[in-house]
Amino acid sequence: MTTNLDPVAISIFVFFFALVTILGFVASRWRAPKTMEHIDEWGLGGRNFGTWITWFLVGGDFYTAYTIIAVPALVYAVGAYGFFALPYTIVVYPFVFMVMPLLWKRAKDNGYVTAGDVVFGQYGSRGLELAVALTGVIATMPYIALQLVGMATVLQALGLTGELPLAVAFIILALYTYSAGLRAPALIAFVKDIMIYIVVITAVALIPSKLGGYANVFASADAAFQAKGSGSLLLGGNQYVAYATLALGSALAAFMYPHTLTGIFASNSGNTIRKNAVMLPAYTLLLGLLALLGYMGHAAHLNVSSPNQVVPALFQTLFPSWFAGFAFAAIAIGALVPAAVMSIGASNLFTRNFWKAYVNPNVTDAGEAKVAKITSLVVKIGALLVIAFLPTQFALDLQLLGGIWILQTLPALVFGLYSKWFRAPGLLAGWLVGFFGGTYLVWINGLKPLQALSLGGAPFTVYIGLLALAANIVVAVIVNLVTVPARKAA
């Protein structure tokens, strides 16, 4: 990948980055409420986003810059196995259609802002509320850091090395998020998604013609996998279970993250969420096209030191500078939207489920909004420090843990929507086993998210997140059964 300064590409990049910066600050006046000094307005956009705004917002923070960089990189490195993201983004929408409107109604009726609020309202347990809130914040931090990884990759491709360009970009993001709250990423998401669609459709239409057609793209990728002795165009016999469980576990975890729940809670109705569950799979088509860029990297005979550089290198190699600059701007802006929503989701959790619960139970609405704004700045600074002082691979490994951790909040958050049978002690015990058991399995497997199992036959590998969730539910059921007689006796 070329890392020399490219004035044309940099000029185009700066133009679009400046455009969304202006939009970010203008957003504070967009659909302006009487006051922004309320966490419902700052952190949830007034709970009044309709179908199209929700579509761009949820899609925008669901498909991140890291997705644009990492999915093609994984396909480039391992082949068909990297496509597990496709079934995952298909399975998730029936789950959203059935569960999220109920969760939205519970939050709307009771003024809940976070998953922790929902859990405390259902079970009345500060301990369970704190567990859910802490899990949300811990799982989100590396996710934000990975947005920075995606942005750093395209800045490097532009020849802008060092930490300063990245820090400047995130300081700008922090400032307009502070002033406009969720309205800023919601407005920018329109521009971001249009740019991403232009880039991807142009790429999949033109790149194959430059590389001898799709037949040559697949043949080149197959030859590259055979030459290095790993990866393939088709799944190996021992990969089916791992592929399927990764897809299912990732789908169940996806809408447990604070940033995706923030988009759901900001919707104006349950029907808006249902319509989005029908419309959002359009992003899956986009993801499938993006993934193919990994195979195209082999056909282009790219020389990259990291698979994460495949997409930037493709645009540098096969397109003029002005379009490469446009594509890099799209990817960088694609990092800003989810990073902003993630920091808002994490700050809402801190404000509602730690500050209000333990520090100042009588905090005013304006006080809540102020704490959330300040916390969102701290969260972004924390993510910058992760990138500045920890090896990138460490952030990647933490993200693998993030999916496993956040999946352990599902029983506490979702089961109560359908049944009052579960109680806080059982769910808290299940969370403890799932959270720490899953972490232990990942640790002993060298920070890999898969665990080998054998049921008497050939061993197979399973996503640890699902194993931990199964243990979580079993423990919750057992503790619930054991403690019910004691409660009745009392």
Mean pLDDT for 116-120 is 96
Share of the chain above pLDDT 70, in %: 96
Residue 236 has pLDDT above 90, yes or no: no
Q: How many CB atoms lie within 10 A of CB 278?
A: 12
Q: What whole-number distance in Å separates Cα of residue 264 and Cα of residue 341?
A: 12
450-475 pLDDT, tens per residue? 999 987 778 889 999 999 999 999 99
Residue 433 has pLDDT above 90, yes or no: yes
377-426 pLDDT, tens per residue? 888 888 778 777 766 666 666 777 889 999 999 999 999 999 999 999 99
What is the pLDDT at residue 393? 63
Mean pLDDT for 157-163 is 81
Of 197, 186, 177, 185, give the one whose Cα is nearest residue 51. Answer: 186
Q: What whole-number distance in Å separates Cα of residue 308 and Cα of residue 155?
A: 13
At 266 the three-state DSSP class reads: coil
Residue 11 has pLDDT above 80, yes or no: yes
What is the pLDDT at residue 29? 77
Pairing of strands 460-463, 450-453: antiparallel
Q: What angle do CA 417, 423, 429 make, to 5 degrees?
A: 115
Q: What whole-number distance in Å separates Cα of residue 242 and Cα of residue 464?
A: 10
What is the pLDDT at residue 253? 92
Confidence band, pLDDT 50/70/90 cuts, at residue 490: very low
CB 352 within 8 A of CB 185: no
Token pair in block for residue 34: 């009487």
CB 332 within 8 A of CB 154: yes
Mean pLDDT for 3-9 is 81
CB 262 within 8 A of CB 182: yes
Q: In terms of pLDDT, which residue wins out, 135 or 82?
A: 135
90-116 pLDDT, tens per residue? 889 999 999 999 999 999 999 999 999
What is the pLDDT at residue 456? 77
Q: What whole-number distance in Å separates Cα of residue 207 and Cα of residue 293?
A: 9
Q: What whole-number distance in Å separates Cα of residue 258 and Cα of residue 340?
A: 12
Confidence band, pLDDT 50/70/90 cuts, at residue 23: confident
Could you tell me the CA-to-CA distances from 400 to 26, 160, 271, 438 in Å, in that order? 36, 28, 33, 11
Of 191, 189, 243, give the one whose Cα is nearest residue 64. Answer: 189
CB 322 within 8 A of CB 9: yes
Distance, C-alpha 164 to centroid of its chain: 25
Mean pLDDT for 121-134 is 95
- Name the residue type at position 334: G
283-333 pLDDT, tens per residue? 788 888 888 999 999 999 988 888 888 999 999 999 999 999 999 999 888
Q: Residue holding tokens 């050939």?
A: 458
pTM of this structure = 0.89
